[in-house]
Amino acid sequence: MDLRGCIFDLDGVIVDTAKYHFMAWRRLAKELGFIFTLEDNEALKGVSRMASLEILLSKGNIHVTEKEKEELAARKNGWYVEFISGMKPDEILPGSVKFLKTLRKEGILTAIGSASKNAGTILDGIGLREMFDVIIDGNKISKAKPDPEVFLRGAQEMMLSPSQCIVFEDAQAGIEAAIAGGMKCVGVGSLELLGRADLVIPDLKKITLKQLRNL
């Protein structure tokens, strides 16, 4: 393929924030009177805040009004923001910085395509904001993954067509979004979960441009 741009999911690809989301959701579940496990948390990856809350509430068999949902989501986000406020560059996932530098050197554009409304805070905390030409996050989009909006906006702002872009994702919803947007995608994580991607790698440590151009 004629590779011109790479679009990265943030949580789980560039930085390991999944543990902080889990800690906050688990705390909320505990307050609501049930246990939320690490396994339950898999279904929340890449999913928007409100959709995540819906999944959590159905796990606990809890029914609340829309207004209460807003309040619960805000409570979870308050804890999450507190957890990520102390994030340091050493929480960047292995291989990310080196790979981003390689892309820059080769003139390939870089974008963030994240569902998170906290993406800016995280990028500032880990000092990576300037490594991305374009940042599309949960504040800029109206349709959550698996809708392709976030990645299509990324391609559009890089002034590229979807066929010139590759998406890097750790969540099934994100892989589906890339496919729906007509983009090649690389799953970062386990083959078992991300088998629908064009290529699955455990992390960004060993990925080469040659591998990507062959997709």
Q: Could you give the residue numbers annotated as active site?
A: 9, 11
Cβ-based nearer residue to ligand B16, 50 or 213:
50
Cβ density class 181-198: b for 16+ within 10 Å, e for less: bebbbbbbbeeebbeebb
Distinct helix (H) and strand (E) counts, the chain: 10, 6
Site map for ligand B16, 144-183, x if CB under 6 A?
---------------------------x------------
Q: Contact with ligand B16 (CB under 6 A): which of 3, 28, 57, 118? A: 118
Residues 61-80 that bind ligand B16 (CB under 6 A): 77
- Sole residue written with tokens 């699955």: 200
- 37 vs 40: CA distance, rounded Å: 5
Per CB under 6 A, 110 contacts ligand B16? no
Binding site for Mg ion (CB under 5 A): 9, 11-12, 46, 170-171
Q: What six digits make up the tokens of 205?
A: 């440590």
Q: What is the 3-state secondary structure (H, E, C) of 79-140?
A: HHHHHHCCCCHHHECCCHHHHHHHHHHCCCEEEEECCCCCHHHHHHHHCCHHHCCEEECCCC
Per CB under 6 A, 115 contacts ligand B16? yes
Per CB under 6 A, 197 contacts ligand B16? no
Per CB under 6 A, 96 contacts ligand B16? no
- 214 vs 23: CA distance, rounded Å: 39
Q: Contact with ligand B16 (CB under 6 A): which of 96, 110, 116, 172? A: 116
Min dist. Cβ of residue 182 to ligand B16 (A): 19
Query: What single-letter DSSP state applies at residue 64?
Result: -
Site map for ligand B16, 128-147, x if CB under 6 A?
----------x---------
Q: What six digits make up the tokens of 143?
A: 């349709």
Query: What single-letter DSSP state applies at residue 163?
Result: G
Q: Contact with ligand B16 (CB under 6 A): which of 96, 110, 114, 172? A: 114
- Report the SS3 class of residue 202: coil
Cβ-based nearer residue to Mg ion, 46 or 187:
46
Per CB under 6 A, 120 contacts ligand B16? no
Min dist. Cβ of residue 115 to ligand B16 (A): 3
Tell me which residues touch ligand B16 (CB under 6 A).
9-12, 21, 44-49, 52, 77, 114-118, 138, 171
